[in-house]
Every structure is written in C-alpha cells, then in structure tokens.
Amino acid sequence: MEQIEELLKLTLHQSDWVIAKPSSGRSKESYIAEKSGKKVFVKLDVFSHALDTLSEIGVAPKVLASGDQNGVPFVVQEFIEGTNPDENWFRSHIREVARLIKNYHSNKKLKEELSRTQTTDYRTHLDKELSFLEKYLGMVNLEILNKEDIYEKIQLLKNQADFLEETELVPTHSDPNPANFMITPEKFYMIDWDILFFQMK
C-alpha cells in the first residue's frame, strides 16, 4: 500500500489515503483509495494513454492522473458509484450502447495510440490470431478434448482465410460483459479496460 500512497501523493498532491483492494476480482492490480469523501480508482500495468483518450470521449470514467512508476504504467481514475445493468436495461438502451461502442471503434486518436504497438494490417492480424489458437491448443490437456479434430478445423479455417474479405480493424474492449458496464444517474460507462486490442469490426 505504501507504493500506492506515494503514487497518490505525487499525482494528486494529497497524503493519508485509506487504501483497499476492490471486493470484486480484477485481472490487473488495482486499488480503491478514499480521503475526505473523495474516492479514486488506481490501476497498474494498463494502457494509460489509451485510457486517457477513452476518458476524454466519455467512454471510461474520468482520468485524474496517469504515468509511469518504476517502469509500471498506472492510471488514477474517478471512482464511479453505480450499478451493473441487467438484460432488460440492455434491451431498452441498445441504441445508446451501440453509439458508445461506435464512439471508441471510430476514434482516430485511439487508433493511432494502439497502432504504435499493434498491427493494423488485416492479414497480419489474422495470421497472428490463428497462430495464437494453435499455440493455445498445444497447452490443453489431451484428455479434455479431441485436439486432432480441432487442429483439422483450424487448418480448414487457415485455408479459407485466404478467401475472407478484408475488414477494418477497430479498437475493442476485451471483455464487454454486463459486469464491465457501470450505470450512474447521469450516464453509463465501460470499465475494466485491462486489455485493449485491434479486432475485426
């Protein structure tokens, strides 16, 4: 916790925070800090520049500070008090959700930031994804599934990939499930942007 206390002191210029781990599981190291009624969310090892942009366009909670501490990128965000939507909420807000997703799919600045470390070429991306499938399959226990059958299907997919029509690659949230949507009385956000990749539109 001392590391987070120091980080908050340097970025928000306040000390003596009450710091705790979130009750729900997160794939990245994260903390909730509170002081004098103000709550912030701290996450380490994230795409800090991308989160800055997602915050600017209103997709993610407001970023209060971001940077690098001892070689580890971090982001400090406004802590959002809200609820996760249910199936009925999605049914009645499908247009709003579509607009929000289109917002980050089409954002030029976000695309430029991701393109520094990720390919924007469709064929290169497709080859990389297929190679990942083969590699991942090699780590699966033989007793769990018939790998030979799956290898055949992957080979079939690779053969057919040459005939697939190329499509645009866009920034995507790696896990857009209801737990990663947060509703407030004013608006809704997508949270937990641990992994942000180019994927097929």
22 domain residue, yes or no: yes
Q: Answer whether 0.95 is exceeded by the pTM.
A: no
146 domain residue, yes or no: no
112 domain residue, yes or no: no
Q: What is the CATH number of the domain that holds 56?
A: 3.30.200.20
What pLDDT does 54 receive? 95
Q: How does residue 62 score in pLDDT terms, banded at 50, 70 and 90?
A: very high
63 domain residue, yes or no: yes
Which residue's entry shows tokens 């912030």?
40
**Comparing 137 with 177, which gets the higher pLDDT?**
177
**How many CB atoms lie under 10 A from the CB of residue 66?**
20
Give the pLDDT mean for 117-137: 87
16 domain residue, yes or no: yes
Is residue 83 predicted with pLDDT exceeding 80? yes
Q: Residue 55 sits in which domain range?
A: 2-82
Tell me the C-alpha distance between 184 and 192, whole Å. Answer: 16
Q: Average pLDDT over the chain, rounded to whole?
A: 89
Token pair of 148, please?
């030979």
Q: How does residue 28 score in pLDDT terms, banded at 50, 70 and 90?
A: confident
3-state DSSP helix/strand/coil percent for the chain, to nearest 5?
Answer: 40, 25, 35
40 domain residue, yes or no: yes
DSSP of 40-73: EEEEESS-HHHHHHHHHTTSSPPEEEEEEETTEE
Q: How does residue 143 score in pLDDT terms, banded at 50, 70 and 90?
A: low
Count of the separate structural domains present in the chain: 1
140 domain residue, yes or no: no
Helix ranges, 115-146 (H): 122-137
What pLDDT does 65 receive? 95
The radius of gyration of the chain's CA atoms, rounded to the nearest angstrom, is 20
100 domain residue, yes or no: no
Residue 50's nearest CA partner among 33, 31, 66 is 66
Q: How does residue 145 score in pLDDT terms, banded at 50, 70 and 90?
A: low
Looking at residue 165, what DSSP letter applies? P
**Comparing 143 with 80, which gets the higher pLDDT?**
80
Residue 32's nearest CA partner among 79, 84, 83 is 79
